[in-house]
Amino acid sequence: MSPYLDTVAAEIEALLGDPARPAAVLAWPRSAELDRAAELPLDELRELDRLGLPAYYVPAALGGRLAEFPALFGVIRTLARRDFTVALAHCKTFLGSACVWVGGSAEQTAGLAARVLDGAVVSLGLTEPGHGSDLLAGEVRAEPAPDGYRLRGTKWLINNAGRADLMCVLAATRPEAGSRGFSLLLVDLRGLPEPACTRLGREATLGVRGADISGVTFHDAPVPAGALVGTEGGGLELVLRALQVTRTLCAAMSVGLADHALRITATFAREHQMYGRPLATLPHAARSLGEAAADLLLAEAVGLVGARSVHSLTAEQSVISAAVKYLVPTRTDHTIMQLAEVLGARALLTDAYADGRFQKIERDHRIVGIFDGSTVVNLNAIVNQFPVLARGYRRRVDEAGVRAATDLAGPLPEFVPQRLALLSRSGCSLVSALPETVRRTTELVAAGAVPEPLGRLGSRLLAIADDLHQQLAAYRPTRRVPTDVLALAARYTTVFAGAACLRLWLENRASAPAGVLLGGPAWVTAALSRLLTQLGEPEEPGLDQVYDTLLTATFGQLDRGVPFSLLTPPSEGTPR
């Protein structure tokens, strides 16, 4: 099978069946029913365990099926487009385990792998009451004891805290040491004596109503010395490195939810009559659907490049993960809002149209921009690297890493977690390579191989990138980051997205299988236009045909019941 086709996602799609049918593992009607009741989908979670999905959260070297992160991207996307509550609850085990995969000992990784493969639920205990994303303010303490540590304090707003078997807990071991005073402990919650641990009740949430968002309080809980992950005092750094992987994969949740939202809206637009015509044939509605399709494909492209970069540009992931985590959920929020305008009142109804699934999607997606680092946290992560980004632009390019991140037919290097760094030393190669990417695109335009609008859009993006990096170079750090500086970081993520999309298309245009959207210029032309518009640039004229092409492709994929994707084959597919 072609390397362009997401074989893992296709396998999961076939395994789970058509979600429109009540008998499916994750059936849409059942999902809506559970959401209205704010009920945790325990039966569905157990069925995913039975089907072997936890294996995708365990590295292949430890007996699992996680060999490459793009495959896990496909798994998460597939679950999210069916039921985000289930996706969030089930995939949390990977988030909870990630710190151990990145920094654990051989004994710890082997032991955790066996537990996860056996269905254990793993959670990540970072946040606490009153502190939010300020991890340095954490009050949970791990006091030294003859046999290890005594853990006390409360972790709160933790996904799966009520049902977790194990939890990676960030705790202060030397509070006076600042950022070097926190350590990470892999705590076996089931093994603690009953008085040592209190599970807190679930909190009611606007979105993902059935999720177990709760907490746990430790009362001098005995934790063995062997529970320490990495080095004492190195917990915060280990968490920040592991989050570079998990933040990147959050884009898959946005893509899955956007797929579901577009599916509902496109179906409605073809069925609903207005002025004696299907709504989908009216210019404004058709353009809105075409733009939403472009946004979805843009998000998928950025997420895929980010997931591949974990392997090939690992040392730059501090920039890449922050850009992906900020841009994709933020843009997807707007995409869902645009689709809601097409649906009209039906977007707000809880059961009268499509089981009320659209309003669940709109509520659910709001949380994606919050966990694993909020939008402001990710923008700050980019601001902290302005100097190196400015120095590296047009000068430092890991060309082999860029090609591996964007050439889907090429092999990916093995992920080496030790290469994850808190700050990139070379900048961002995908953005630094933009001049070369645009030069190659311009040559194709001159040769008549691709349409002229794409060349103009690429050149406009490059001009914006040049000006932006001059502003980054002029920035002088201040104690409090002004909002206009955060806006610069947001502009940087948009430039990054454009560079990623253009290079992804360029590396695959000639080798993509016939009929696969990835190889054609329509999606990347629309994506760049959408990004430039976000930057305040005037819209490129004459793109109506481009959006019509994407809308036709959207309806084609809708009719075949396959995911909306750059990678979906033109004729053969998987169940809805």
CATH at residue 473? 1.20.140.10
Is 575 within the bounds of a domain? no
In whole angstroms, what is the distance from residue 264 CA to residue 349 CA? 13
Same domain, 131 and 107: no
Span between the terminal Cα atoms of the chain, in Å: 20
Instruction: Evaluate whether residue 570 is within a structural domain.
Output: no
Residue that has been written with the tokens 């909190």 in this structure? 203
The answer on 303 and 259 residing in a single domain is yes
State the DSSP code for 538: P
What residue spans of 509-576 are helical by DSSP H? 521-534, 544-560
516 domain residue, yes or no = yes
Co-location of 74 and 206 in the same domain: no
Q: Among the three residues 119, 142, 158, which one is the final residue of a domain in this structure?
A: 119
From the list 560, 559, 527, the residue with the least C-alpha distance to 546 is 527
* Residue 188 shares a structural domain with residue 330: no
Question: Could you tell me the two tokens for 570?
Answer: 């033109």
Please give the pLDDT value at position 301.
Answer: 98
pLDDT at 350: 87
CA nearest neighbour of 66 among 78, 53, 49, 80: 53
How far, in Å, CA of 160 to CA of 152, rounded?
Answer: 19
Q: What are phi and psi of 84, to 5 degrees?
A: -65, -30
User: Tell me, what's the pLDDT at 5?
Assistant: 56
Query: Mean pLDDT in each 10-residue stretch from start to end of the chain (576 residues)?
Result: 65 90 91 94 96 97 97 96 96 98 98 98 96 91 96 97 98 95 98 95 94 97 98 97 98 98 97 95 97 98 98 98 98 98 93 92 95 90 97 95 97 97 97 98 97 97 98 91 95 98 97 91 98 95 95 95 89 44
Q: Tell me, what CATH number does 217's domain have?
A: 2.40.110.10
Any domain includes 568: no
Same domain, 11 and 157: no
Same domain? For 260 and 360 the reply is: yes
pTM of the model: 0.96
Rg, Å, the chain Cα set: 23
Are residues 13 and 6 in contact, defined by beta-carbon separation less than 8 angstroms? no
Apex 383 CA angle, 378 and 384, nearest 5? 95
CA-based nearest residue to 144, from 180, 166, 169, 171: 171
pLDDT at 161: 97
Is 206 contained in some domain? yes
- pLDDT reported for residue 480: 87
How confident is the model over 281-334, as pLDDT tens digits?
Answer: 999 999 999 999 999 999 999 999 999 999 999 999 999 999 999 999 999 999
Which domain covers residue 147, as residue numbers?
Answer: 123-229
Q: pLDDT (tens digit, 9 = 90+) per residue, 221-272?
A: 999 999 999 999 999 999 999 999 999 999 999 999 999 999 999 999 999 9
> Could you count the other beta carbons within 10 Å of the beta carbon of residue 68?
19
Distance CA 164, CA 243 (A): 19
Tell me, yes or no, whether 99 and 185 share the same domain: no
pLDDT of residue 556: 95
Verify that 377 and 256 share a domain, yes or no. yes
SS3 128: coil
Judge if 348 and 477 occupy the same domain. yes
Q: Which of 229, 257, 292 is the last residue of a domain?
A: 229
Reading the block at residue 219, the tokens are 């009362």
**Residue 292 CB-density burial (10 A; 0-12 exposed, 13-18 middle, 19+ buried):** buried
Q: Supply the DSSP string of 13-76, one letter for each residue.
A: HHHH--TTSTTSTT-HHHHHHHHHTT---HHHHHHHHHTTGGGGGSBGGGTSSBS-HHHHHHHH
Regarding whether 267 and 222 lie in a shared domain, the answer is no
DSSP H/E element including 94: helix 84-103
* Last residue in a domain, options 87, 119, 151: 119
Structure-token pair, residue 206: 């606007």
In DSSP terms, 143 is beta-bridged to: 150
**Domain assignment present for 572:** no
Token pair 């921009």: residue:
369
> Are 183 and 225 a contacting pair, CB within 8 Å?
no
Whether residue 272 is found in the same domain as residue 369: yes
Structural domain includes residue 571: no
Q: What phi-psi label fits residue 333: left (phi over 0), alpha (psi between -120 and 50 degrees) or beta?
A: alpha
Paired sense of beta strands 122-125 and 166-172, if any: parallel
Q: Are residues 284 and 225 in the same domain?
A: no
Domain holding 58: CATH number?
1.10.540.10
Tally the domains of the chain: 3
In-domain check, residue 384 = yes
